[in-house]
């Protein structure tokens, strides 16, 4: 039997490592990463909420964490309309 060239062996090792799933991320860590990406896109009025995987939540699911037992939900928050300035007190 002829030995396989080192390049083929390295390629097979690389492919097998890429097939391994990533370790489950803690929710707080994943939430921070998602928030950083959202803010990098210019959004600043949003909410990220960690909820149980089977719980119904308003918004879009943007990630799963804690081994798939929880999900992170994104919700765009509308800013309240600006308040008019308070009237100046009149002098008697």
> Which residue range is the domain that position 59 belongs to?
23-76
33 lies in a domain?
yes
Tally the domains of the chain: 1
pLDDT at position 52 is 94
Cα distance between residue 44 and residue 60, in whole Å = 16
2 lies in a domain?
no
84 lies in a domain?
no
Cα distance between residue 11 and residue 28, in whole Å = 35
85 lies in a domain?
no
29 lies in a domain?
yes
Phi and psi angles of residue 28, each rounded to the nearest 5 degrees, phi first: -65, -40
pLDDT at position 77 is 82
Q: Model's pTM, two decimal places?
A: 0.60
Show the CA angle centred on residue 73, arms to residues 44 and 50, nearest 5°.
Answer: 105
Per run of 10 residues, the mean pLDDT along the chain (length 92 residues) is 53 51 80 91 88 91 91 82 66 63
């Amino acid at each position: 039997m002829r030995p396989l060239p080192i390049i083929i062996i390295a390629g097979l090792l690389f492919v097998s490592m890429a097939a391994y799933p990533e370790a489950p991320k803690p929710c707080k860590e994943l939430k921070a990463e998602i928030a950083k990406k959202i803010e990098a896109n210019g959004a600043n009025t949003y909410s990220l909420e960690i909820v149980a995987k089977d719980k119904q939540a308003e918004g879009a699911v943007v990630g799963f964490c804690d081994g798939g037992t929880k999900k992170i939900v994104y919700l765009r928050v509308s800013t309240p309309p600006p308040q008019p300035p308070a009237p100046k007190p009149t002098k008697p």
